[in-house]
Structure 1
Amino acid sequence: MKTVKWFKNPEMIIALSALFIGLLTAVISIYSAYIDRAYARASVWPNVELYRSFERHSFSYGVVNSGTGPALIKYARVALDGSPIKRWSDIEAFADISQSHIHNRTLPAEQTITPLIYEGEAIAAILEVDNRLAIELCYCSIYGDCWVVDRNNTPKPVNECVIEHQHAFLQ
């Protein structure tokens, strides 16, 4: 009787084929889950931008989320000549302004917050202060991906949004 080598045995060929197909299916499933997760993150990706607007007798700062998902604004940092400030009213030129809260807010996609509005005659003084002002926001997506954006509107990824209390803007 002639013996057949183990790898030429029909049952072994079927078993090895089933093993190969199972491994290939597992690899495809893992890759598909990776792609699905990346798509889910991209479908709710916030993109926060800062802007200013001024006309003859009005000036405002705005924050818009031009991304596809909500932005969880964790902190704001505002500094005048490099020194952190807590409130807009800490700046003398901004004494007569309308303001709204900016940090620890959820900004839905395609929505805008206007944290500061000035209407009056002293636009030149406001613009002079504006040139010395630094604004930074740290925000996260619902998946915990976080970015820091400043007035250059170039988001920089960070691991988490952390700021020392004395540097945080409270308004």
Structure 2
Amino acid sequence: MSATPPNRRDHWDVLGVVIASLVGLLALVVAGYTAYIQREQVRAQVWPYLISGNNDLTQSLTVSNKGVGPAIVRSVRVIVDDKPQVDWDHVLVALGMQPNSYIMTTVNHGVLSPGEELQAIRFPDKQLWRQFHDATSGRVAIDICFCSTLGECWVSINEKVIGPKSMPLQLRVKPVGRCPQLSPAETFNN
């Protein structure tokens, strides 16, 4: 038996299949790249960026979202002299102040909109603010773990919240896989 030689039409059929496969592969690559670019654009549109610091004009310690997306606060830790505190009363006692005459706003487990600023603690009395300001200088740190609406998380670490060099020199925001689970003794419940 002799083999029949392939005809020209068979060559064109094979060539058509190869070209169609390459076009399909190219379309798949382009679609994958487009999805990646779209995901990066969405990430940029929902990126939160929390910072904390003092505001002498309002006599307050503030937490601000300087990002372009909402910040979902998962945990807050306030440390005085390397010891975690559970609320503002304990912070003030640790600083040698009386725990009275202040106004607070809850930060823990809240959501801050882009551009929103919360006064975590505010002193209506200028003398109390000055006392708080002087007592906290170099002694208080605030760690806030927050996430975007896409579930990406960061920890904002502010080692010196109050004082002339409180921002931005000691502020660090680092990405984390997920917010740490703090013990009840470490969790700040403001």
Confirm whether residue 84 of structure 1 aligns to residue 89 of structure 2: no
Given candidates 28, 31, 34, the residue that maps to 2:33 is 31
How far does residue 128 in structure 1 lie from its aligned partner after superposition?
2.6
**What residue is the counterpart of 2:51 in the other structure?**
49
Given candidates 121, 127, 135, the residue that maps to 2:133 is 127
**What residue is the counterpart of 2:162 in the other structure?**
none
**What residue is the counterpart of 1:168 in the other structure?**
187
Question: TM-score, normalising length from structure 2?
Answer: 0.81
How far does residue 4 in structure 1 lie from its aligned partner after superposition?
4.2
**What residue is the counterpart of 2:110 in the other structure?**
105
User: What is the letter of the counterpart of residue 73 of structure 1?
Assistant: V
User: What is the letter of the counterpart of residue 78 of structure 2?
Assistant: V
User: What is the letter of the counterpart of residue 101 of structure 2?
Assistant: D
Given candidates 141, 146, 154, the residue that maps to 2:172 is 154
**What residue is the counterpart of 1:59 in the other structure?**
59
Q: How many pairs align? A: 168
* Native 8 Å contact 2:69 2:113 kept in 1: yes
Q: Between the two proteins, what is the percent identity of the paired residues?
A: 26
Q: Which moved more, 1:65-74 or 1:117-126?
A: 117-126
User: What is the letter of the counterpart of residue 130 of structure 1?
Assistant: T
**What residue is the counterpart of 1:70 in the other structure?**
70
Q: CA RMSD in A?
A: 2.1
Write the distance in 1 (CA, Å) between the matches of 2:51 and 2:102.
22
Q: Tell me which stretches of 4 or more aligned residues in structure 1 moved more than 3 Å.
A: none
How far does residue 129 in structure 1 lie from its aligned partner after superposition?
2.2
Q: Which moved more, 1:120-129 or 1:37-46?
A: 120-129
- Structure 2: runs of 5 or more not aligned: 159-169
User: Which is strand-richer, 1 or 2?
Assistant: 1
- Structure 1: runs of 5 or more not aligned: none
User: What is the letter of the counterpart of residue 142 of structure 2?
Assistant: I
Write the distance in 1 (CA, Å) between the matches of 2:144 and 2:31.
38
User: What is the letter of the counterpart of residue 133 of structure 1?
Assistant: V
